[in-house]
Chain A
Amino acid sequence: AQTVTQSQPEMSVQEAETVTLSCTYDTSESDYYLFWYKQPPSRQMILVIRQEAYKQQNATENRFSVNFQKAAKSFSLKISDSQLGDAAMYFCAYANSGYALNFGKGTSLLVTP
């Protein structure tokens, strides 16, 4: 079974600064996909970024980027120029062969002015 581990229950960052959220996973598969989702207080799940395991290039989406280390099974999320609206719960997730997303426990991100 695949497991996703987020070791930081809470993180704090000042506005305009950069923060990195950690995620590691365990799998025996070679082809899989990794995601970061944001869940604000509304509890709507919002896709932040996704990465295909077969791609060596790290995915980027505006202020969000990942550091994908396949051999180390690590998938961290970097948020640059943090904004107050980035405050939310962030979940790392794994998916394989069209099956359901498997989520980590989440990291609560606080953004201070």
Chain B
Amino acid sequence: GAVVSQHPSWVICKSGTSVKIECRSLDFQATTMFWYRQFPKQSLMLMATSNEGSKATYEQGVEKDKFLINHASLTLSTLTVTSAHPEDSSFYICSARDPDQGQHYGYTFGSGTRLTVV
């Protein structure tokens, strides 16, 4: 079945530095990828929709200059947290849609990245 690989699984960075998270579709081409953020014991909140070859669409309240999303190929989307601060500490999850599985059957999730900013 469709597999999405997300790296790193966890990362600790110093306040003020930037961190890049990668999301790869391993056995299918994902024209659309989604980035979510999840705080402890809470739900997944959509941050942005990433479309290959075009600019990402950000949800209201998400700072596009802080959370840079790049979807340069059909198998890779990256989320860069710039000038990270402790409040950016969270669990970030990507999801990719496999068009071959039908419009709504192909939501596959990465394993998530736990970001801690110290």
Contacts and interface: CB of A to CB of B under 8 A. Distances in A.
The answer to whether A and B come from one shared complex is yes
Interface of A: 33, 35, 42-45, 47, 50, 52, 91, 95, 97-106, 108
B97 A98 contact: yes
Given A100-B46, A104-B43, A44 B112 contact: yes
Given A99-B49, A101-B34, A47 B107 contact: yes
B111 to A, nearest CB: 5
Interface string B29-66: 00010100010011110100100000000000000000
A47 B104 CA distance: 12
A98 B32 CA distance: 9
Contacts of A35: 107
B91 interface: yes
Interface string B74-102: 00000000000000000101010100000
Determine the interface band of chain B, counting residues with CB < 8 A from chain A.
20 to 34
A42 B9 CA distance: 11
B34 A105 contact: no
Contacts of B104: 33, 50, 52, 95, 98
B112 to A, nearest CB: 5
B46 A102 contact: yes
B109 A91 contact: no
Given A50-B104, A97-B103, A100-B49, A45 B109 contact: yes
Nearest to A98: B103
Contacts of B111: 42-44
